[in-house]
């Protein structure tokens, strides 16, 4: 029942904004400036009929997901290192601050000069996600209960058990928050990099070409594709993290029950 109510509420909200879009398009009465939802839907259906749509979408997904994976692994490794080597944290902090403060467009232009257009979206994704993951996990490591850590050392708790019962549960909220926060930003930044760099066979290139040839419905259709994929990726990450969180809580409770017994 809850699911039906939530789905109905989402449907009503979407219906309201689609109606606003349709009315605005009717008032403007210039499809080249603001095409109607119907024209955009037709353009999207035309794209869906072509094999190029799926290869283009998969390539953009690969570029962004590869960047997210590299950034998550790199940020996690750096956070582990800086939690034990404090001087390394002091050295990395200004670098991460500079990365977060620098406009994405500047990085895109520099990346075009350094590595060429094909690898720009992945690099930009890494630069967007890495500081967020590292910062969140760095805070998470600082918030781990020092008393419990000392107790684990005194009783010589095996590393695997310490990771499973102490470190992973403590870092899980910070890690999931970092990935959820950065995923949407990474997807938008990756597509923006594709629009500027124009690597062959990507969504950003299709949007750029549609703008160049003033094919506004097609541009809206590809933009709608980006939005839908972004929502899909965020839902996928939320589902995975919720499952992992429940599994982690179950493991901790099971271990506590064994210890009490």
- Give CA–CA dist 21/193, Å, rounded: 27
The pLDDT value recorded for residue 261 is 47
Query: What phi and psi values does residue 221 have, to the nearest 5 degrees?
Result: -65, -45
pLDDT at residue number 148 = 55
Q: What pLDDT score does 130 carry?
A: 92
Does residue 9 fall inside a structural domain?
no
**In the predicted model, what is the mean pLDDT of residues 93-100?**
89
Residue 238 banded pLDDT, cuts 50, 70, 90: confident
Predicted confidence band of residue 257 (pLDDT cuts 50, 70, 90):
very low
Q: How many domains does the chain have?
A: 1
Using alpha carbons, list the distances in angstroms from residue 258 to 167, 248, 253.
19, 15, 9
Length of the chain: 261
pTM of structure: 0.81
pLDDT at 248 over 60: no
Supply the CATH number for residue 124's domain. 1.10.3720.10
Q: 80 near 72, Cβ under 8 Å?
A: no
Question: Is 84 inside a domain boundary?
Answer: yes
Q: Give the domain extent around 140.
A: 58-203+230-252
Work out the pLDDT band at 156, boundaries 50, 70, 90. Answer: low
Q: Is residue 41 part of a domain?
A: no
| pLDDT tens, residue by residue, 29-54 | 888 888 999 999 999 999 999 999 99
Q: Which residue has the higher pLDDT, 248 or 215?
A: 215
According to DSSP H, which parts of the chain are helical? 2-28, 37-48, 51-84, 86-101, 104-115, 120-143, 146-154, 159-162, 168-197, 203-212, 216-260
Q: What is the mean pLDDT of the chain?
A: 82
Retrieve residue 4's tokens.
Answer: 């039906």
Q: 18 in a domain, yes or no?
A: no
Mean pLDDT of 127-148: 80
- Distance from first CA to last CA of the chain, Å, rounded? 40
Separation of alpha carbons 47 and 223, rounded Å? 12
| Angstrom distance (rounded) from CA 261 to CA 259 | 5
pLDDT of the residue at 3: 67
Any domain includes 66: yes
Beta carbons of 61 and 229 less than 8 angstroms apart: yes
Is 144 part of any domain?
A: yes
Specify if 17 maps to a domain.
no
Q: Is the pLDDT of residue 213 over 80?
A: yes
């Amino acid at each position: 029942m809850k699911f039906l109510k939530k789905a109905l509420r989402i449907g009503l909200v979407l219906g309201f904004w689609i109606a606003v879009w349709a009315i605005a398009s009717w008032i403007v009465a210039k499809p080249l400036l603001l095409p109607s939802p119907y024209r955009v839907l037709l353009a999207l259906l035309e794209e869906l009929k072509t094999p190029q749509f799926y290869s283009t979408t998969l390539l953009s997904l690969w570029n962004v997901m590869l960047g997210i994976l590299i950034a998550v692994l790199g940020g996690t490794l750096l956070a582990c290192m800086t939690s034990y080597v404090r001087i390394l944290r002091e050295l990395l902090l200004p670098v991460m601050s500079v990365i977060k403060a620098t406009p994405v467009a500047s990085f895109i232009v520099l990346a075009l000069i350094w590595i060429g257009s094909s690898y720009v979206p992945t690099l930009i994704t890494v630069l967007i996600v890495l500081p967020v993951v590292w910062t969140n996990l760095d805070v998470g490591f600082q918030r781990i209960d020092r008393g419990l850590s000392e107790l684990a050392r005194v009783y010589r708790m095996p590393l695997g058990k310490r990771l499973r019962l102490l470190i992973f549960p403590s870092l899980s909220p910070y890690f999931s928050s970092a990935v959820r926060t950065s995923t949407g930003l990474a997807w938008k930044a990756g597509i923006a990099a594709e629009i500027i760099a124009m690597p062959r066979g990507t969504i950003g290139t299709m949007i750029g070409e549609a703008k160049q040839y003033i094919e506004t419905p097609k541009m809206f259709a590809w933009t709608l594709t980006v939005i839908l994929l972004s929502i899909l990726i965020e839902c996928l990450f939320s589902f995975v993290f919720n499952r992992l969180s429940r599994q982690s809580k179950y493991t901790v409770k099971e271990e506590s029950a064994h210890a009490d017994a």
